[in-house]
Amino acid sequence: MEKQKLLIAESIEFLLYQPNVRLAILYNLDYERYDTDPQAGFALIRPSGDCPACGLLRQVIDQAYPIAKLPHPTPMPVSPDVKAEAWNGQTNFQLGGQVGAFGENTVNVMKDMQMGWVKHQIIWHPGANPADFVFFIENAHAKGFKVLLSVKGLPWDTRTDTFAYYATFVAMLGGFGADAIEIWNEPNLPREWQEGRVGVENYLQLLRIAYSTIKTHSPETYVISGGLAPTGFFNGCTPSGCDDLPFLQQFVAAGGLDYTDCVGVHYNEGLVSPLRTDGDPRAVDHHGRYYQTLVDTYWQTIEGKRPLCFTELGFLSGEEWGYLPQGFSWRGLPFVGGINLTVAQQAEYLGEAVLLSRQQGKVQMLFIWNVDSTVWTDDPQAGYAMIRPNGQCPACATVQSAMQD
């Protein structure tokens, strides 16, 4: 792979300086097929999910085309420091879901569950045009929903010289009518934030300028800090990766709550009922194993000064497939045949999570991951979906019940 990485980078570097070359298309980015036609062997994204060539390619391109030369909106003028007002402590719980197709059936089941919000995740890069994403806003509004846009980029775009462009991008989305914006995704992980630069200081630079720019030009847009990945893998917080709790503690100590309307939370590896705070079968216990422990830990850390927003909450069931891809089977044999949860358990747990979030006064918003994905690859998104492969939606009934007054 090291040789492949160097050959690709050298080839692209050569082409960038050829005056007669206008377009270069790499074969290929993410093919998974490997048989008599070994397409996966050509892929930039390897079977592990890593992309060894991506960082080097970006360096080569940046050298040829510095960011200042890229076409992008001129950075907006920003007030020196726009801070969030103190929270009044009152939640008005709102429910939403992340969608794929967002077709008629999805819209109908979402409305039946009293979901008033839809979430889309979009990928920003230096030079991205926010007008290209207006469809997500207009389509959501036309179907009767408010919209959360979770805006992330690639790890190597988390450099300080890109932050003003990101801030302008998200502020323009607010101006186009985005009702809420999540600033990045899981910034405590090196797969989301450039390894060697992971940490509160760097993320807070981005959040501060993004929040100030949005609120200067679109003050009604609701801003959510990037949901952290609950983990204890890193044994603390280093530039190579951070556990969520020390990241959040440092975030609060550094004044991060001044630059968010709501603290983003992710929970998508649960194996037991949200009503429980013990019983997870994994060897290493952690606050992120349990819904209630996660909520209480975050709430105590932020001292109740901001509401919590679950921008991603889901339970994974591989029942219809009979297995889960490597890295997602957290029970494994002999527990439920390696499918984590049955569909019935998924439905039960989603309903319980929604009900607890409504009742406890700590959660302002909850977005279920996900409503209708049909993607089943090494990333088993369809296993999280409320609408199952047979078109049935057992979780719709439990969530609908949890939303009843």
Residue 236 shares a structural domain with residue 118: yes
Q: Are 175 and 292 within one domain?
A: yes
Res. 280 pLDDT band, cuts 50 70 90: very high
Residue 381 resides in a domain: yes
Asked if 132 and 240 sit in the same domain, the reply is yes
Cα 27 to Cα 7, 43, 110, distances in angstroms:
13, 7, 39
What are all long-range contacts of 359-364, with beta carbons under 8 Å and residues at least 24 apart? Answer: 360/295, 361/91, 362/91, 362/295, 362/299, 362/304, 362/307, 362/308, 363/91, 363/93, 363/295, 363/307, 363/308, 363/309, 363/310, 364/91, 364/92, 364/93, 364/94, 364/262, 364/307, 364/308, 364/309
Give yes or no: residues 115 and 256 share one domain.
Answer: yes
Q: Please state the domain count of the chain.
A: 2
Looking up residue 334, the CATH number of its domain turns out to be 3.20.20.80
Per-residue pLDDT, 58: 59
pLDDT at 67 (0 to 100): 46
Beta strands (DSSP E) in 127-231 are 146-152, 180-183, 222-225
Residue that terminates a domain, selected from 46, 65, 84: 65
Specify if 87 maps to a domain: no
Check whether residue 56 and residue 200 sit in a common domain.
Answer: no
Do residues 168 and 129 share a domain?
Answer: yes
Statement to judge: residues 232 and 194 lie in one domain: yes
Considering the domain architecture, whether residues 126 and 51 belong to the same structural domain is answered as no
Residue 34 belongs to what domain range? 2-65
Do 216 and 148 belong together in one domain?
yes
The answer to the question of residue 380 being in a domain is yes
Do residues 158 and 213 both lie within one domain?
Answer: yes
Q: pTM, whole model, 2 decimals?
A: 0.84
pLDDT for 103-152, tens place per residue? 999 999 999 999 999 999 999 998 899 999 999 999 999 999 999 999 99
197 within some domain: yes
Asked, for residue 84, whether it belongs to a domain, the answer is: no
43 and 139, same domain (yes or no): no
The predicted-structure confidence for 194-204, as pLDDT tens digits, reads as follows 999 999 999 99
What is the spatial distance between Cα 205 and Cα 189, in angstroms, rounded to a whole number? 17
Average pLDDT, the chain: 88
Residue 72 CB coordination number (10 Å): 20
